[in-house]
Protein backbone atom coordinates (compact mmCIF):
# COMPACT_ATOMS: atom_id res chain seq x y z
CA UNK A 1 0.00 0.00 0.00
CA UNK A 2 1.81 3.07 -1.12
CA UNK A 3 0.99 6.51 0.12
CA UNK A 4 -1.46 8.66 -1.79
CA UNK A 5 -0.37 12.27 -1.74
CA UNK A 6 -1.55 15.37 -3.44
CA UNK A 7 1.16 14.81 -6.03
CA UNK A 8 -0.05 11.40 -7.02
CA UNK A 9 -3.59 12.70 -7.29
CA UNK A 10 -2.42 15.62 -9.39
CA UNK A 11 -0.43 13.59 -11.85
CA UNK A 12 -3.11 10.92 -12.03
CA UNK A 13 -5.75 13.52 -12.77
CA UNK A 14 -3.47 15.40 -15.10
CA UNK A 15 -3.69 18.71 -13.25
CA UNK A 16 -1.38 20.68 -10.99
CA UNK A 17 -1.31 20.08 -7.27
CA UNK A 18 -2.58 23.57 -6.72
CA UNK A 19 -5.74 22.69 -8.56
CA UNK A 20 -6.13 19.60 -6.46
CA UNK A 21 -5.70 21.79 -3.41
CA UNK A 22 -8.42 24.06 -4.72
CA UNK A 23 -10.83 21.20 -5.06
CA UNK A 24 -9.89 19.98 -1.62
CA UNK A 25 -10.76 23.29 -0.05
CA UNK A 26 -13.80 24.04 -2.12
CA UNK A 27 -12.22 27.11 -3.53
CA UNK A 28 -13.86 28.94 -6.42
CA UNK A 29 -12.31 29.25 -9.84
CA UNK A 30 -12.23 25.61 -10.72
CA UNK A 31 -14.27 24.54 -13.71
CA UNK A 32 -16.94 21.96 -13.04
CA UNK A 33 -15.27 19.51 -15.38
CA UNK A 34 -11.93 19.73 -13.60
CA UNK A 35 -13.51 19.57 -10.19
CA UNK A 36 -15.38 16.42 -11.01
CA UNK A 37 -12.37 14.83 -12.58
CA UNK A 38 -10.35 15.46 -9.45
CA UNK A 39 -13.12 14.31 -7.15
CA UNK A 40 -13.31 11.07 -9.05
CA UNK A 41 -9.59 10.53 -8.60
CA UNK A 42 -10.00 11.19 -4.86
CA UNK A 43 -12.37 8.28 -4.71
CA UNK A 44 -10.39 6.05 -6.99
CA UNK A 45 -7.17 6.46 -5.07
CA UNK A 46 -8.91 6.74 -1.70
CA UNK A 47 -7.08 9.95 -0.99
CA UNK A 48 -7.09 11.61 2.42
CA UNK A 49 -5.23 14.89 2.73
CA UNK A 50 -2.48 14.92 5.30
CA UNK A 51 -3.55 17.22 8.12
CA UNK A 52 0.03 17.61 9.26
CA UNK A 53 1.23 19.02 5.96
CA UNK A 54 -1.85 21.15 5.85
CA UNK A 55 -1.18 22.34 9.36
CA UNK A 56 2.37 23.27 8.54
CA UNK A 57 1.35 25.29 5.52
CA UNK A 58 -1.44 27.08 7.33
CA UNK A 59 0.24 27.30 10.69
CA UNK A 60 -2.57 25.41 12.38
CA UNK A 61 -2.68 22.15 14.25
CA UNK A 62 -6.36 21.31 13.93
CA UNK A 63 -6.25 20.54 17.59
CA UNK A 64 -8.15 22.21 20.35
CA UNK A 65 -7.46 21.65 24.01
CA UNK A 66 -9.96 20.93 26.71
CA UNK A 67 -9.09 22.08 30.21
CA UNK A 68 -10.68 20.62 33.29
CA UNK A 69 -10.16 20.14 36.99
CA UNK A 70 -13.20 18.36 38.25
CA UNK A 71 -13.69 15.59 40.79
CA UNK A 72 -16.73 14.28 38.95
CA UNK A 73 -15.74 11.66 36.42
CA UNK A 74 -19.17 11.68 34.89
CA UNK A 75 -19.02 15.42 34.35
CA UNK A 76 -15.65 15.08 32.66
CA UNK A 77 -16.90 12.31 30.44
CA UNK A 78 -19.94 14.32 29.45
CA UNK A 79 -17.76 17.29 28.63
CA UNK A 80 -15.54 15.08 26.49
CA UNK A 81 -18.49 13.58 24.70
CA UNK A 82 -19.82 16.97 23.73
CA UNK A 83 -16.42 18.28 22.72
CA UNK A 84 -15.64 15.22 20.63
CA UNK A 85 -18.96 15.45 18.82
CA UNK A 86 -18.16 18.99 17.74
CA UNK A 87 -14.59 18.08 16.79
CA UNK A 88 -15.61 15.15 14.64
CA UNK A 89 -18.13 17.25 12.85
CA UNK A 90 -15.57 19.88 11.98
CA UNK A 91 -12.52 17.68 11.42
CA UNK A 92 -10.69 18.73 14.50
CA UNK A 93 -8.90 16.77 17.15
CA UNK A 94 -9.39 17.11 20.86
CA UNK A 95 -6.57 17.17 23.34
CA UNK A 96 -7.71 16.63 26.90
CA UNK A 97 -5.76 18.37 29.59
CA UNK A 98 -6.67 17.75 33.20
CA UNK A 99 -4.80 20.10 35.49
CA UNK A 100 -5.17 21.79 38.81
CA UNK A 101 -6.61 25.25 39.03
CA UNK A 102 -4.63 25.95 42.16
CA UNK A 103 -1.64 23.97 41.04
CA UNK A 104 1.60 25.85 40.96
CA UNK A 105 2.33 27.63 37.76
CA UNK A 106 -1.02 27.03 36.14
CA UNK A 107 -0.41 29.76 33.61
CA UNK A 108 3.02 28.56 32.61
CA UNK A 109 1.69 25.03 32.44
CA UNK A 110 -0.97 26.17 29.98
CA UNK A 111 1.51 28.28 28.08
CA UNK A 112 3.76 25.27 27.72
CA UNK A 113 0.84 23.21 26.54
CA UNK A 114 -0.06 25.73 23.88
CA UNK A 115 3.55 26.15 22.82
CA UNK A 116 4.38 22.50 22.49
CA UNK A 117 1.10 21.23 21.13
CA UNK A 118 0.38 24.31 19.01
CA UNK A 119 -3.27 24.35 20.01
CA UNK A 120 -5.57 26.34 17.77
CA UNK A 121 -7.90 27.09 20.66
CA UNK A 122 -8.98 26.08 24.13
CA UNK A 123 -12.25 25.15 25.79
CA UNK A 124 -12.47 26.10 29.42
CA UNK A 125 -14.69 24.02 31.64
CA UNK A 126 -15.53 24.79 35.27
CA UNK A 127 -13.75 25.97 37.31
CA UNK A 128 -11.51 27.44 34.61
CA UNK A 129 -14.39 29.11 32.81
CA UNK A 130 -14.46 31.90 35.33
CA UNK A 131 -10.85 32.07 36.36
CA UNK A 132 -9.82 35.66 35.53
CA UNK A 133 -6.07 35.15 35.48
CA UNK A 134 -6.36 32.45 32.87
CA UNK A 135 -8.93 34.21 30.75
CA UNK A 136 -6.94 37.38 30.60
CA UNK A 137 -3.80 35.44 29.82
CA UNK A 138 -5.45 33.80 26.86
CA UNK A 139 -6.84 37.10 25.75
CA UNK A 140 -3.43 38.76 25.91
CA UNK A 141 -1.86 35.94 23.94
CA UNK A 142 -4.72 36.06 21.47
CA UNK A 143 -5.48 32.37 21.92
CA UNK A 144 -9.08 31.69 20.89
CA UNK A 145 -11.07 30.22 23.74
CA UNK A 146 -14.61 29.25 24.66
CA UNK A 147 -16.09 29.01 28.12
CA UNK A 148 -18.50 26.33 29.26
CA UNK A 149 -20.90 26.91 32.12
CA UNK A 150 -19.44 30.24 33.08
CA UNK A 151 -21.36 32.61 35.31
CA UNK A 152 -19.81 35.86 34.19
CA UNK A 153 -20.77 36.90 30.70
CA UNK A 154 -18.32 38.83 28.59
CA UNK A 155 -19.77 39.89 25.32
CA UNK A 156 -16.65 39.52 23.25
CA UNK A 157 -16.09 35.86 23.90
CA UNK A 158 -17.78 32.53 23.31
CA UNK A 159 -19.71 31.22 26.26
CA UNK A 160 -22.35 28.53 26.59
CA UNK A 161 -23.95 28.01 29.95
CA UNK A 162 -27.02 26.80 31.70
CA UNK A 163 -28.77 28.70 34.39
CA UNK A 164 -27.51 27.42 37.74
CA UNK A 165 -29.23 30.11 39.70
CA UNK A 166 -32.59 29.28 38.18
CA UNK A 167 -32.05 25.55 38.67
CA UNK A 168 -31.24 26.04 42.33
CA UNK A 169 -34.27 28.26 42.67
CA UNK A 170 -36.51 25.59 41.20
CA UNK A 171 -35.27 22.71 43.25
CA UNK A 172 -35.49 24.76 46.43
CA UNK A 173 -39.00 25.74 45.55
CA UNK A 174 -39.77 22.07 44.94
CA UNK A 175 -38.82 21.41 48.56
CA UNK A 176 -40.76 24.38 49.79
CA UNK A 177 -43.85 23.24 47.99
CA UNK A 178 -43.50 19.92 49.78
CA UNK A 179 -43.81 21.83 53.01
CA UNK A 180 -40.16 22.15 53.96
CA UNK A 181 -39.08 25.31 55.73
CA UNK A 182 -35.83 24.32 57.41
CA UNK A 183 -33.71 23.53 54.40
CA UNK A 184 -30.03 23.09 54.99
CA UNK A 185 -27.62 24.02 52.21
CA UNK A 186 -24.18 22.64 51.43
CA UNK A 187 -22.06 24.90 49.31
CA UNK A 188 -19.74 23.76 46.56
CA UNK A 189 -16.10 24.57 45.94
CA UNK A 190 -15.41 28.30 46.19
CA UNK A 191 -13.37 28.28 42.97
CA UNK A 192 -16.43 27.28 40.96
CA UNK A 193 -18.69 30.08 39.97
CA UNK A 194 -21.61 27.66 40.10
CA UNK A 195 -21.18 27.57 43.85
CA UNK A 196 -22.28 31.14 44.28
CA UNK A 197 -24.98 30.84 41.63
CA UNK A 198 -26.60 27.85 43.27
CA UNK A 199 -26.48 29.53 46.64
CA UNK A 200 -28.14 32.60 45.18
CA UNK A 201 -30.94 30.52 43.70
CA UNK A 202 -31.49 28.86 47.05
CA UNK A 203 -31.74 32.20 48.82
CA UNK A 204 -34.00 33.68 46.19
CA UNK A 205 -36.42 30.77 46.55
CA UNK A 206 -36.47 31.19 50.31
CA UNK A 207 -37.03 34.91 50.01
CA UNK A 208 -39.73 34.71 47.41
CA UNK A 209 -41.60 32.26 49.64
CA UNK A 210 -41.28 34.32 52.77
CA UNK A 211 -38.89 31.96 54.53
CA UNK A 212 -36.23 33.62 56.55
CA UNK A 213 -32.68 32.72 55.65
CA UNK A 214 -30.85 31.01 58.48
CA UNK A 215 -27.08 31.09 58.28
CA UNK A 216 -26.70 28.19 60.66
CA UNK A 217 -28.17 25.91 58.04
CA UNK A 218 -25.39 26.61 55.57
CA UNK A 219 -22.26 24.46 55.39
CA UNK A 220 -19.15 24.91 53.27
CA UNK A 221 -18.41 21.95 51.03
CA UNK A 222 -16.21 21.56 48.00
CA UNK A 223 -18.21 19.27 45.70
CA UNK A 224 -16.33 16.19 46.83
CA UNK A 225 -18.04 13.23 48.37
CA UNK A 226 -15.77 13.55 51.36
CA UNK A 227 -16.68 17.16 52.04
CA UNK A 228 -20.30 16.09 51.88
CA UNK A 229 -19.72 13.65 54.69
CA UNK A 230 -18.25 16.37 56.88
CA UNK A 231 -21.02 18.83 56.18
CA UNK A 232 -23.66 16.16 56.65
CA UNK A 233 -22.33 15.33 60.07
CA UNK A 234 -22.80 18.90 61.22
CA UNK A 235 -26.19 19.32 59.62
CA UNK A 236 -27.68 16.07 60.82
CA UNK A 237 -26.59 16.81 64.36
CA UNK A 238 -28.42 20.14 64.44
CA UNK A 239 -31.20 20.48 66.94
CA UNK A 240 -33.81 20.84 65.66
CA UNK A 241 -32.74 18.90 62.64
CA UNK A 242 -33.64 20.48 59.29
CA UNK A 243 -36.29 18.57 57.37
CA UNK A 244 -34.48 18.84 54.07
CA UNK A 245 -30.93 19.18 52.76
CA UNK A 246 -29.94 20.78 49.48
CA UNK A 247 -26.42 19.73 48.59
CA UNK A 248 -24.79 21.67 45.74
CA UNK A 249 -24.03 18.51 43.84
CA UNK A 250 -25.01 14.87 43.80
CA UNK A 251 -21.85 13.51 45.32
CA UNK A 252 -22.31 15.58 48.42
CA UNK A 253 -25.98 14.66 48.43
CA UNK A 254 -25.03 11.00 48.26
CA UNK A 255 -22.79 11.55 51.24
CA UNK A 256 -25.66 13.09 53.19
CA UNK A 257 -27.78 10.13 52.26
CA UNK A 258 -25.14 7.67 53.35
CA UNK A 259 -24.69 9.35 56.69
CA UNK A 260 -28.42 9.70 57.24
CA UNK A 261 -28.87 6.02 56.52
CA UNK A 262 -26.10 5.13 58.93
CA UNK A 263 -27.88 7.25 61.56
CA UNK A 264 -31.04 5.23 60.99
CA UNK A 265 -32.82 8.16 59.44
CA UNK A 266 -35.28 7.22 56.74
CA UNK A 267 -35.04 9.16 53.50
CA UNK A 268 -37.36 10.77 52.49
CA UNK A 269 -39.68 10.07 55.43
CA UNK A 270 -37.49 11.62 58.07
CA UNK A 271 -35.51 13.94 55.86
CA UNK A 272 -35.56 14.95 52.21
CA UNK A 273 -32.33 15.30 50.25
CA UNK A 274 -31.68 16.95 46.91
CA UNK A 275 -28.56 17.29 44.83
CA UNK A 276 -27.52 18.98 41.63
CA UNK A 277 -26.11 17.78 38.27
CA UNK A 278 -27.95 14.51 37.80
CA UNK A 279 -24.77 12.49 38.04
CA UNK A 280 -25.09 8.72 37.56
CA UNK A 281 -24.82 8.21 41.29
CA UNK A 282 -28.13 10.05 41.69
CA UNK A 283 -29.93 7.05 40.31
CA UNK A 284 -27.51 4.39 41.46
CA UNK A 285 -28.28 4.82 45.12
CA UNK A 286 -31.40 4.14 47.07
CA UNK A 287 -33.47 6.22 47.28
CA UNK A 288 -32.68 7.95 44.00
CA UNK A 289 -31.84 11.62 44.31
CA UNK A 290 -34.05 14.46 43.23
CA UNK A 291 -31.71 16.75 41.36
CA UNK A 292 -31.20 19.23 38.54
CA UNK A 293 -30.08 17.99 35.13
CA UNK A 294 -27.93 20.25 33.00
CA UNK A 295 -27.26 19.70 29.30
CA UNK A 296 -23.51 19.34 29.73
CA UNK A 297 -22.82 17.58 26.43
CA UNK A 298 -24.93 20.05 24.55
CA UNK A 299 -23.24 23.03 26.19
CA UNK A 300 -19.78 21.76 25.43
CA UNK A 301 -20.63 20.77 21.90
CA UNK A 302 -22.01 24.19 21.12
CA UNK A 303 -19.06 25.90 22.74
CA UNK A 304 -16.52 23.88 20.79
CA UNK A 305 -18.41 24.25 17.55
CA UNK A 306 -18.47 28.00 18.00
CA UNK A 307 -14.81 27.98 18.87
CA UNK A 308 -13.74 26.06 15.79
CA UNK A 309 -15.96 28.16 13.58
CA UNK A 310 -14.37 31.24 15.02
CA UNK A 311 -10.89 29.87 14.47
CA UNK A 312 -11.59 29.02 10.86
CA UNK A 313 -13.23 32.35 10.21
CA UNK A 314 -12.44 35.05 12.76
CA UNK A 315 -15.10 37.26 11.20
CA UNK A 316 -17.72 35.07 12.85
CA UNK A 317 -18.69 37.03 15.88
CA UNK A 318 -18.68 35.07 19.11
CA UNK A 319 -21.90 34.65 20.98
CA UNK A 320 -23.35 33.62 24.31
CA UNK A 321 -26.06 31.07 24.88
CA UNK A 322 -27.91 29.96 27.96
CA UNK A 323 -29.53 26.54 27.92
CA UNK A 324 -32.25 25.14 30.14
CA UNK A 325 -31.67 23.09 33.28
CA UNK A 326 -34.35 20.63 34.31
CA UNK A 327 -35.71 19.37 37.61
CA UNK A 328 -35.61 15.58 37.98
CA UNK A 329 -37.68 14.24 40.85
CA UNK A 330 -36.81 10.88 42.33
CA UNK A 331 -37.45 9.18 45.64
CA UNK A 332 -35.30 11.28 47.93
CA UNK A 333 -37.88 14.01 48.43
CA UNK A 334 -41.32 13.80 49.97
CA UNK A 335 -43.93 16.05 51.49
CA UNK A 336 -43.42 16.85 55.14
CA UNK A 337 -45.74 15.01 57.47
Partner DNA sequence: TGACATTATGACACCGGTGTCAGATTAGGA
Partner DNA sequence: TCCTAATCTGACACCGGTGTCATAATGTCA
Task: Tell me which residues touch a copy of itself (CB under 8 A).
Answer: 48, 50-53, 55-56, 61, 63, 73-74, 76-77, 80-81, 84, 91, 93-96, 98, 115-118, 225, 251, 254-255, 257-258, 261-262, 280-281, 283-286
β-sheet bridge partners, residue 21: none
- Which position among 12, 30, 117, 224 is part of the footprint of DNA (CB under 7 A)? 30
For 167, other C-beta atoms within 10 Å of its C-beta total 24
By CB under 7 A, what part of segment 35-94 binds DNA? 35, 47, 49-50, 53-54, 56-59
Cβ(274)–Cβ(242) under 8 Å? no
Q: Which is nearer to DNA, 6 or 76 (CB)?
A: 6
To a copy of itself, the closest distance from the beta carbon of 16 in angstroms equals 21
Distance between CA 83 and CA 285 in Å, rounded? 29
Cβ-based nearer residue to a copy of itself, 151 or 304: 304
189-228: contacts with DNA (CB under 7 A): none
Residues 242 and 234: their CA atoms lie apart, in Å, by: 11
CB 267, CB 257: distance < 8 Å? yes
Query: Least distance from C-beta 25 to DNA, angstroms?
Result: 5
Partner touching 138 among DNA, a copy of itself, none, CB below 5 to 8 Å by kind:
none
Helix axes 106-117, 132-141, angle to 10 degrees: 30
* For a copy of itself, the closer CB: 217 or 255: 255
CA dist 183 and 240 (Å) reads 12
Q: What does the angle CA 83 – CA 318 – CA 165 come to, to the nearest 5 degrees?
A: 70
* Nearer Cβ to DNA (62/68): 62
**Contact, 301 vs 329, CB < 8 A?**
no
Whose Cβ is closer to DNA: residue 49's or residue 288's? 49
Amino acid sequence: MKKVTINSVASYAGVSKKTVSRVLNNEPNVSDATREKVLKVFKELDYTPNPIARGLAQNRSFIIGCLYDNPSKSYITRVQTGALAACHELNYNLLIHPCELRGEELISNIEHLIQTSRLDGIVLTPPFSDFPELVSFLKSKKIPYARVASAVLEDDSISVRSNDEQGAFEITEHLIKLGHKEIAFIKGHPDHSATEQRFKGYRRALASNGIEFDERLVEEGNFSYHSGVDSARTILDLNPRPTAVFASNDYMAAAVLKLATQMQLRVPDDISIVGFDNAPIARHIWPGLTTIAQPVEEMTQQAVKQLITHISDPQESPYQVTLEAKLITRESTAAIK
